[in-house]
Amino acid sequence: MNRTVYLNGEYLPEDEAKVSIFDRGFLMADAVYEVVSVLDGKLLEFSGHIKRLERSLGELDMAKPKNFDNLLDIHRTLVARNNVQEGGVYLQITRGVADRDFVYPKDAEPTLVMFTQERPIIESPAAKTGMRIISTEDLRWGRRDIKTVQLLYPSMAKMMAKAAGVDDAWLVEDGFVTEGTSNNAYIVKDGKIITRSLSHDILHGITRASVLRYAAEAQMIVEERNFTIEEAQSADEAFITSASAFVTPVIEVDGAKLGGGTPGPVAGRLREIYIEESRKAGI
Ligand code: PDD
């Protein structure tokens, strides 16, 4: 693989892009990120992702990198140079390079790293078969609304899922599902879509916001409230949303099959709508 990546103002071959060992992203996970999906070579939900990025930076008192106002152009250039039709653009901003200290450095220049990843989204196997998930305790920090690169626990939870022979884990706190390792979680009962409401406990998914809007427009009932794993196990269907998975059905929760173990109609319909609308709105 020899992608062209972006680092602090330069487009470089991927093996030439190097970040300092003193970068606070490396030393302290002092960094935020976004993933913008690419479909038909176009960027999806760009403005939503950039708004959330600005919010994450603000919550952490982190400065914007110099080229912040050119992010759309940089995204497009990377997609074009790497000829990406389907996949995503990963973007990370760190507080920058400074000698190791718990106190934020005053004058560090933020680091901006971006690269593309090609991956099938429309024809993903999970979209057809549905995902099997297990639950595990949510041991992440208390500000999951900020999209930081502290992803070790989500990564451990994903490995627990793999070790159990399934696809992903839903995280549970005080008896209620928060979200998936890298996606928002939903169940469907008697035609009602149920998902946890927004707070510091979950990431405010950009896909979530659009999918809930499309659901309301299609006269589906949405209930934003907590739900348990037991409630999920007796649901008619379930699904997840994220920039990289769009809407993907869930067919099994901790060993209990939902809807006879095949993807449900609400997830299927929302996935269709999301793809259709995304194809129209990509930039
Ligand atoms: N993850 N919740 C968590 C914990 C996430 O990491 C993500 C996204 C989401 C969905 O957010 P959005 O719809 O804005 O992608 C919810 C990205 C895709 C990732 O880490 O790769």
Average pLDDT over residues 34-41: 98
Range of the domain at 40: 4-118
Ligand 1 centre and the CA of 228: distance in Å?
Answer: 21
78-100 confidence digits (pLDDT tens): 999 999 999 999 999 999 999 99
159-193 confidence digits (pLDDT tens): 999 999 999 999 999 999 999 999 999 999 999 99
| Same domain assignment for residues 97 and 166 | no
Per-residue confidence (pLDDT) for residue 145, from 0 to 100 = 98
Backbone angles phi, psi at 197, to 5 degrees: -80, 165
DSSP symbol at 41:
T
Average pLDDT over residues 20-44: 98
Please state, in angstroms and as integers, the Cα–Cα distance from residue 78 to each residue in 10, 117, 196, 203, following that order: 11, 10, 35, 26
C-alpha angle with apex 53: 155 to 112, nearest 5 degrees?
Answer: 80
Whether residue 158 lies in the annotated active site:
no
| Atom 3 in ligand 1: residue holding the nearest Cα | 182
| Same domain assignment for residues 111 and 129 | no
Q: With H, G, I as helix, E, B as strand and everything else as coil, classify residue 147.
A: coil
Average pLDDT over residues 140-157: 98
Per-residue confidence (pLDDT) for residue 1, from 0 to 100 = 73
| Same domain assignment for residues 272 and 159 | yes
| Same domain assignment for residues 89 and 131 | no
Ligand 1 centre and the CA of 196: distance in Å?
Answer: 15
Dist CA 179 CA 194 (whole Å): 12
* Of 239 and 1, more confident: 239
Inter-residue contact 104 to 96 (CB < 8 Å)? no
| Atom 19 in ligand 1: residue holding the nearest Cα | 182
- Among 118, 146, 176, identify where a domain stops: 118
CATH code assigned at 165? 3.20.10.10
The token pair that represents 128 in the structure block: 């057809």
**Pocket test residue of 89, 141, 203 for ligand 1, highest count of atoms within 8 A of CB:** 203
Q: Which residue has the tokens 């030439």?
A: 16
DSSP symbol at 207:
H
Return the percentage of the chain with pLDDT > 70, whole number: 100
Please, where are the H alpha helices in the chain? 24-28, 46-59, 71-81, 125-129, 152-163, 206-217, 229-233, 265-281
Give the predicted TM-score (pTM) of the model.
Answer: 0.97
Read off the pLDDT band of 10 (50, 70, 90).
very high
| Same domain assignment for residues 164 and 258 | yes
| Same domain assignment for residues 43 and 8 | yes
Average pLDDT over residues 193-218: 98
| Same domain assignment for residues 177 and 273 | yes
Q: With H, G, I as helix, E, B as strand and everything else as coil, classify residue 268.
A: helix
**Pocket test residue of 32, 114, 144, 182 for ligand 1, highest count of atoms within 8 A of CB:** 182
Reply yes or no on whether the pLDDT at 150 is more than 90.
yes
| Same domain assignment for residues 269 and 131 | yes
- Among 56, 83, 118, identify where a domain stops: 118
CATH code assigned at 109? 3.30.470.10
Q: How many domains does the chain have?
A: 2
